Structure 1
Amino acid sequence: MAKKKTAPLFQSWDEVNQALREISVLDAQVSEAEAKMNALINDIKADTEAVVTPLLQRKAELEAHIQAFTESRIDEFKDSKTKTLTFGEVGFRKTTSIITRNVKAILEALKQNKMFDCISVKESIDKDELAKYDDAALAKVGAKRDVKEKFFYKPTVERIEAQ
């Protein structure tokens, strides 16, 4: 069943023109409100940064001292890699990382050694390239072109600001 179109609210181009004017005014008001909001957010960020920066510096300082002391007593961690204290734990964890400097050379070596499971490839459809094909070619791959007339409007802000 087809949808019934309702009668438009506006009955003349003058009414549409006035609506565009109102949209321009509303856009200006929204921009002004967002600018005030961003200014307040920036002020809050600056105030918070002023409070947090010395705290984070002190934390980093304490972490460095804890690490230096713990490393100076590394011989105490032969039996257990963790020492539990009243307010937390310190210790050593074995970590492993893979260092890759020349990605192209490593990729070539992986391919030569048939280590394809170590190579990730992301596949996706490039719709811009696909759009260059005709409708018959699109149909062959299960795609189709959808062409619509899409409504737009663009208020003239300069004329509103001049009033």
Structure 2
Amino acid sequence: MARTALKEPQLKSWEAVNQTLADIAEARREIELEQAACNEQVDQLKTESKDKLKPLLELVKANELKLKEFCEARKSEFTQIKTKKLTHGSVGYRLSTTVSIPDPVFTCQVLKELQLEHCIRTKTEPDKEAIKQLTPEQIAEIGASVNTRNTFGYDIETVDPTATAAH
């Protein structure tokens, strides 16, 4: 579909602009009411679902504990094989290794002192706020550009219904 440019503004007066703002405010109120009603239904469904799922989740957790206890009692059977395949699934053990770093700043300092920089991840990215402060020549030299626009905006005057009810 071809984009058509407007020849004249559709609104002809400030009264029309004011009425358009009123129309937007009314539409937003209706949107908020509908969204609130929808959120209430979603919350109710979540509560109902949580109540239905609770016994099933407890059953799964209890059965997982039974599986673990059974396999722990027979851990010697897993020395040659890591996984025991059964008709409805498999059970087994996997060797996992984790690294705990309680103080990353201290660890990075020590890694630098020991010349182990390859163990440090560094994310490098331009600081756009700092770049705004550079001269136009410097900005051009680094291959960046600063774009300034005068963008249109509007505000809707809203009234808090609880504040008006108190008076």
How high is the TM-score relative to the length of structure 1? 0.86
Structure 1 unaligned segments of length 5 or more: list them.
none
Residue type matched to 1:58 in 2? L
TM-superposed CA distance for 1:78, in Å, is 2.6
Q: Which runs of 4+ in 1 moved over 4 A?
A: none
Give the match's secondary structure for 1:121: coil
Give the match's secondary structure for 1:158: coil
Residue type matched to 1:87 in 2? H
Give the match's secondary structure for 1:89: strand
Measured against aligned partners, the alpha-carbon deviations of 1:51-78 in whole angstroms (never above 9, x if no partner) come to 1222112211111111011110112223
Residue type matched to 1:25 in 2? E
Measured against aligned partners, the alpha-carbon deviations of 1:69-124 in whole angstroms (never above 9, x if no partner) come to 11101122232121122211111111111122232232122212322221111112
1:99 aligned partner: 100
Which deviates more, 15-24 or 97-106? 97-106
Give the match's secondary structure for 1:133: coil
Task: State how far apart, in whole Å, the 1-side matches of 2:55 and 2:117 are.
Answer: 49
In the alignment, is residue 128 of structure 1 matched against residue 111 of structure 2?
Answer: no
Which deviates more, 58-67 or 76-85? 76-85
In the alignment, is residue 141 of structure 1 matched against residue 149 of structure 2?
Answer: no
- Give the paired residue count: 158
Structure 2 unaligned segments of length 5 or more: list them.
none
Task: State how far apart, in whole Å, the 1-side matches of 2:32 and 2:5 are.
Answer: 36
Task: State how far apart, in whole Å, the 2-side matches of 1:83 and 1:94 are.
Answer: 15
Q: How does 1:5-16 map to 2 (within 5 A)?
A: 5-16=6-17
Give the match's secondary structure for 2:85: strand
Measured against aligned partners, the alpha-carbon deviations of 1:100-152 in whole angstroms (never above 9, x if no partner) come to 22322321222123222211111122222222233333223222222221111
In the alignment, is residue 59 of structure 1 matched against residue 60 of structure 2?
Answer: yes
Task: State how far apart, in whole Å, the 2-side matches of 1:18 and 1:61 are.
Answer: 63
Which deviates more, 126-135 or 19-28? 126-135
Task: State how far apart, in whole Å, the 2-side matches of 1:18 and 1:94 are.
Answer: 69
Which deviates more, 120-129 or 60-69? 120-129
Residue type matched to 1:40 in 2? Q
Give the match's secondary structure for 1:97: coil
Give the match's secondary structure for 1:84: strand
How high is the TM-score relative to the length of structure 2? 0.84
In the alignment, is residue 50 of structure 1 matched against residue 55 of structure 2?
Answer: no
1:39 aligned partner: 40
1:155 aligned partner: 156
